[in-house]
Amino acid sequence: MHIDPNGEHDWAVLLAGGDGTRLRHLTRMIAGDLRPKQFCRLFGGESLLSQTRARLGPLFRAERTTFVVTGAHEAFYREDLRHTDASRVVVQPLNRGTGVAIATALLRILQHDADAVAAFFPCDHYYADPEAFSRAVASAVRYARDFPDSVVLIGAEAENPEVEYGWIEPGLPMRDAPDVPLFCVNRFWEKPTLAEARSLLRRRCLWNTFVTIGRAETFVELLCSEFPDTVLRLAAAVAEGDLDAAYGDVPAVDFSREVLALHPHRLLVVRDESSGWADLGTPDRLIETLARNRVETDWLTRRTGVGLSTDRLVTSSAAKADMGT
């Protein structure tokens, strides 16, 4: 079942335009080329992009699922998107960061649906419990409809003082649902110091998963409050069907640091306590995630000489050094 079988305004946007530099040496070893991680088969028989698409398939209709990619990666995403209508693929001329990718996708969606609710999903995530993830997303989409002036984040239960993640401090509860409660956001940190991360962990703050949901108009309003010229240039380019000139002129925008962190009063957060979310952004984190969840991978066994089915974690210092971390 979809989130709302009778609804016509829920859109999923898969963000797959990043360059994947932090995993480049690893993906080259696995795939034999310089493809970014989202187009690599890191585990299982499908790329991370295809796995993300399959995970969202029961939640969003195919005709309202959009993909943001970068033109330089066409050789790598061609296979994953070979059966996808070109109208649902946003091809960026350049990678200008998450903010520009989100703005472009929103402007494209608003051409078709002025009442759209857009949900943004990075393509380098792992979920130990996909059903728990689906429950969190379904709840977040409903909350985004109920609170149209806010953006709803999904925050994962923090396990350690991670300094490479964004952090969310939940405030007062907005809605106390049995499975997936909703909270105001007191503050948003993007990549805190270690001392700050330790304090955030003690206070049961959440990791920002970057799964972000809200009315398309609300997203555009927040983007315009910080980057009005960028949004205007992109809007003109989308209307003309030519992104090349606009992308050459606009600055890169980090959506978390340069937009979300500046507007905590416009944010709400769903507390995801059970999906087992992990970001696969670095070799170290990828190996630890696969080992913890006993996910078998031929390339890792060959590389480290350790099978994930054993009780040993492959994130030993020797394994890390062998992976180049």
The pLDDT score that the predictor gives to residue 217 is 98
**Pairing of the two strands 182-190 and 267-272:** antiparallel
Q: What is the pLDDT of residue 298?
A: 78
Sorted by sequence, the CB contacts under 8 Å of residue 71 that are 6+ apart come out as 91, 92, 93, 94
Angle of CA points 248, 254, 255, to nearest 5°: 115
Residues of each domain in the chain carrying CATH 3.90.550.10: 10-281
Comparing CA positions, the residue from 11, 7, 2 lying closest to residue 217 is 11
Please tell me the predicted confidence (pLDDT) of residue 92.
98
The pLDDT value recorded for residue 255 is 96
Give me the pLDDT at residue 305, please: 53
**For residue 63, how many other CB atoms are within 10 A of its CB?**
11
Q: Who has greater pLDDT, 307 or 87?
A: 87
pLDDT value, residue 85: 94
pLDDT band at 204 (very low <50, low <70, confident <90, very high): very high
Is the predicted pLDDT of residue 318 greater than 50, yes or no? no
Whether the per-residue pLDDT at 307 is higher than 60: the answer is: no
- Residue-level pLDDT at 315: 40
Is the pLDDT assigned to residue 321 strictly greater than 50?
no
Q: What is the mean pLDDT of residues 220-249?
A: 97
Does the pLDDT at position 134 exceed 70? yes
Cα-flanking dihedrals φ and ψ of residue 79, to 5°? -70, -45
Q: How far apart are CA 44 and CA 297, in angstroms?
A: 7
Rounded to whole angstroms, the Cα distance separating 16 from 8 reads 24
Return the pLDDT at 279: 93
Q: Is 289's pLDDT higher than 60?
A: yes
**Contact between 206 and 268 (Cβ < 8 Å):** no
Please give the average per-residue pLDDT across 202-210, as a whole number. 96
Q: Which of 2-11, 213-222, 290-299 has the lowest mean pLDDT?
A: 2-11
* 314 pLDDT above the threshold of 50: no
- pLDDT reported for residue 181: 87
This prediction has a pTM of: 0.90
Domain 10-281 matching CATH 3.90.550.10: the answer reads yes
Q: Of 23-32, 100-109, 207-216, give the lowest mean pLDDT range.
A: 23-32
Within 8 A by CB and 6+ apart from 22, the residues are 281, 282, 283
Helix H or strand E segment including 217: helix 216-226
In the chain, % of residues over pLDDT 70: 89
The neighbouring-strand residues paired with 213 are: 119, 152
Judged against a pLDDT cut of 90, whether residue 191 lies above it is answered with no
Q: Is 100 helix (H, G, I), strand (E, B) or coil?
A: helix
Identify the pLDDT of residue 177. Answer: 63
Averaged confidence pLDDT in the chain: 89
- The region that residue 276 occupies, defined by phi over 0 for left and psi between -120 and 50 for alpha, beta otherwise, is left
Local confidence band at 297 (pLDDT 50, 70, 90 cut-offs): confident
Residue 43 has pLDDT above 50, yes or no: yes
Query: What backbone phi and psi angles, to 5 degrees, belong to 213?
Result: -135, 135
- H/E stretch holding 249 reads helix 244-249
Band the pLDDT of 301: cuts 50, 70, 90: low
